[in-house]
Structure 1
Amino acid sequence: MKKLALIVGLLALFLTTPQKIDAVCTPMTLSCPAGKVACLGSGAARRCCDSDDECSAYQSNPDEFVASQRLMEVCEFAEDKKTECESCFKKDPPEAWTAIGCIPTTPEGFIKQFLGLGIGLAGGIAFLLIIFSGFQMITSTGNPERLNAGKELLTSAISGLILIIFSIFLLRLIGVDILGLPEFK
């Protein structure tokens, strides 16, 4: 089992490569780049906006506008997923963009997303354990201890898979049929 954990750990280490991210801070100048509109807010605040409408939104409520724009600035670093990031913040209710994608900010959405992810991950692990137990039984070479260990692992993996399937069934039965919760459909 230690070997399996070591192999899975090494695969995870080598298959996940970090993305290169450049963090550059550019001070605001008096002139805006081409295609941008210079916009003055309350006090000495100065901003380059994409359009006149954006500038008027900034001038009417600078604090709220700056807060929402700062969230959107996160999307500048998500180079190839910029449109997905921007659509994430524009949802109602807004969601949070993270390294693993768009995460719901409501408790119901958060639980729903990670419950599905957890069940899928548990099913995948059970599948890998079934494959590993089959490999262990095939390579036991007549050793009864290794053969029994493989059988026990297979039995445990199938039992876990059945438990996962029944838990999904019970969640749907209780959540949708009995309580009528729309989030579980």
Structure 2
Amino acid sequence: MNAKIAAVNISGLIRTALPNYVQRFVTLGSFITFILRYLFPLAGLLVLIYLIFGGYQIMFSGGNPQAIAQGKSKVTNAIVGFIIVFTAFWIVQGMAIVLGLADLVTIFGQ
């Protein structure tokens, strides 16, 4: 039954929302794959930027304990964000295998 949900033809819905991508998104799995292909790298880039800003804030704090604490908080949040994104990727991969969604297994063109 889960495979039936993933194989639902959504081309009519996509044709209304995104007319140029009708041929590309035939199933729900292919649409989710398209979104995730850009979402995961964007999240990784944001983690990197957040780490850099947190490091700069620590380096240029001038010994101010409040600024150091804010920088450490940014670095900690970036690391936690990376762990969340990494875990989400593997959860999506595991769900794709369990539910038999071949489209989702190939998020990064593998």
Q: In the alignment, is residue 96 of structure 1 matched against residue 20 of structure 2?
A: yes
2:102 counterpart letter in structure 1: P
Q: C-alpha displacement at 1:103, in angstroms?
A: 8.0
Deviation string for 1:29-62 (max 9, x for gaps)? Answer: xxxxxxxxxxxxxxxxxxxxxxxxxxxxxxxxxx
Counterpart position of 2:63: 142
The count of aligned residue pairs is: 86
Task: Give yes or no for contact 1:130–1:154 (8 Å, CA) kept in 2.
Answer: yes
- Equivalence for 1:111: 32
Change (3 A) 1:151 1:103: farther
Once the two structures are superposed, residues 99-148 of structure 1 have per-residue CA deviations (whole angstroms, 9 ceiling, x without a partner) of xxx98232332221111211111110011000110011000010000000
Structure 2 CA distance for aligned equivalents of residues 141 and 114 of structure 1:
42
Amino acid at match of 1:181: L
Larger CA Rg, structure 1 vs 2: 1
Q: Report if the CA contact (8 A) 1:112-1:183 is conserved.
A: yes
How many Å separate the matches in 2 of 1:104 and 1:142? 54
Structure with the larger helix share = 2
Q: Distance in 1 between matches of 2:74 and 2:53?
A: 8
In structure 1, stretches of 5+ residues that fail to align are 1-94
Task: Give the distance between the partners of 1:158 and 1:103, measured in 2 at CA.
Answer: 38
* Percent of matched pairs sharing the same residue: 28
2: CA distance, partners of 1:174 / 1:104: 22
- For normalisation by structure 1, the TM-score amounts to 0.43
Equivalent residues of 1:103, 1:110 under 8 A apart: no
* RMSD between superposed Cα atoms in Å: 2.0
Aligned to 1:179: 99
SS in 2 for 1:104: coil
In structure 2, list runs of 5 or more residues that go unmatched.
1-18, 106-110
TM-score normalised over the length of structure 2:
0.70
Match of 2:44?
Answer: 123
Q: Is the 8 A contact 1:130 1:153 kept in 2?
A: yes
CA–CA distance in structure 2, aligned partners of residues 156 and 142 of structure 1: 21
